[in-house]
Amino acid sequence: MSACELAVDWGSKKFGDSLVLDNVDISIDRGEFLAVLGPSGSGKSTLLRVLAGLEHLTAGTISWSADGARPRTGVVFQQSLLLPWLTVIENISLARRFTAHRHEFDHQYPATLLRRFGLDRLAERYPSELSGGQAQRVAVLRAAATRPRLLLLDEPFSALDPATRIDLQQWLAELVADIEATVVLVTHDVDEAIALSDRIVLLDQGRIRREWRDVRNGSDTCSLREDILQQYHPDEVVVP
């Protein structure tokens, strides 16, 4: 049994009168890849932002295993949010400019990451010279360059075309195997969740409706997919 990385206990979040997270109880193991699946508006991004420390719970607690403090965390959003006046290598090295990282930042690591994950020929390009898929790869490497212990991904590939998206999913799986982070991926794509994660939780109107464990080790992907789709809010199910 792996050590617990973080736990949310009875976590609730209100914006004004609206309850966006409703008694969410979840713990995540060190090194686990968790997918948080759910229809639009179900509270996925809010949960991720709570894990990132960008939002605070209205009630309940979040606790961290490593000496009780939030571990170093990298976050990637749907848009790459690259700085347009910096090259790819400069964007990936961005964290070294911030006080919190300056002393620990490994200056060789961005170039190593670019080489290892197939982007070295893009190093001197500017964001305007990248495709959407390339820009998202750079955004993921920028997060990885700080050697995060926790990597939080909020629909990082959902603006991409399906073929690029599948490429990036495979690329992400290789990256994650290499950097040994605990990963939380927010997505509304059932296949993406199945392809990448160890465990899936389905969020519905701010509550965890169901959970599936041993996703990648499970053999029957088709029935898992069916099962997950059946749990989705009926309005959101799109049967291909």
Ligand X SMILES: Nc1ncnc2c1ncn2[C@@H]1O[C@H](COP(=O)(O)OP(=O)(O)O)[C@@H](O)[C@H]1O
Residue 187 touching ligand X (CB under 6 A):
no
And the tokens for 59? 């009630």
Residue 40 touching ligand X (CB under 6 A):
yes
Cα→Cα distances 113→123, 141, 216, Å: 11, 7, 26
C-alpha to C-alpha distance for 68 and 160, rounded to whole angstroms: 37
CA atoms within 13 A on the CB side of 16: 1
Minimum distance from CB of 188 to ligand X (Å)? 7
C-alpha to C-alpha distance for 188 and 73, rounded to whole angstroms: 22
Q: List the single partner that 63 binds among ligand X, Mg ion, none, CB under 5 to 8 Å by kind.
A: none
Q: Which one, 50 or 196, has the nearer CB to ligand X?
A: 50
Q: Which one, 5 or 155, has the nearer CB to ligand X?
A: 155
Minimum distance from CB of 20 to ligand X (Å)? 4
Strands (E), the chain: 4-15, 18-29, 33-37, 59-64, 73-76, 150-154, 182-187, 199-204, 207-212
Q: List the single partner that 133 binds among Mg ion, ligand X, none, CB under 5 to 8 Å by kind.
A: none
Q: Which of 5, 28, 33, 44 binds ligand X (CB under 6 A)?
A: 44
Minimum distance from CB of 43 to ligand X (Å)? 4
Which residue, among 188, 73, 240, 210, has the nearest Cα to 199 in the 3D structure? 210
Residue 189 touching ligand X (CB under 6 A):
no
Q: Which of 6, 45, 95, 185 binds ligand X (CB under 6 A)?
A: 45
C-alpha to C-alpha distance for 188 and 31, rounded to whole angstroms: 22
Q: Which of 42, 45, 87, 187 binds Mg ion (CB under 5 A)?
A: 45
Residue 42 touching ligand X (CB under 6 A):
yes
Q: Which of 6, 20, 89, 145 binds ligand X (CB under 6 A)?
A: 20
Residue 15 touching ligand X (CB under 6 A):
yes
C-alpha to C-alpha distance for 206 and 209, rounded to whole angstroms: 9
Minimum distance from CB of 201 to ligand X (Å)? 12
Stretch that binds ligand X, among 36-44, 75-83, 133-141, 190-198 (CB under 6 A): 36-44
Contact indicator for 134, 119 with CB cutoff of 8 Å: yes
Q: How many residues bind ligand X (CB under 6 A)?
A: 10
Q: Which one, 73 or 93, has the nearer CB to Mg ion?
A: 73
| Residue 108: DSSP 8-state | T
And the tokens for 199? 């465990």
Specify the amino acid at residue 20.
Answer: V
Angle at the Cα of 183 from the Cα atoms of 117 and 208, rounded to 5 degrees: 145
Minimum distance from CB of 70 to ligand X (Å)? 20
Binding site for ligand X (CB under 6 A): 15, 20, 38, 40-46
Binding site for Mg ion (CB under 5 A): 45
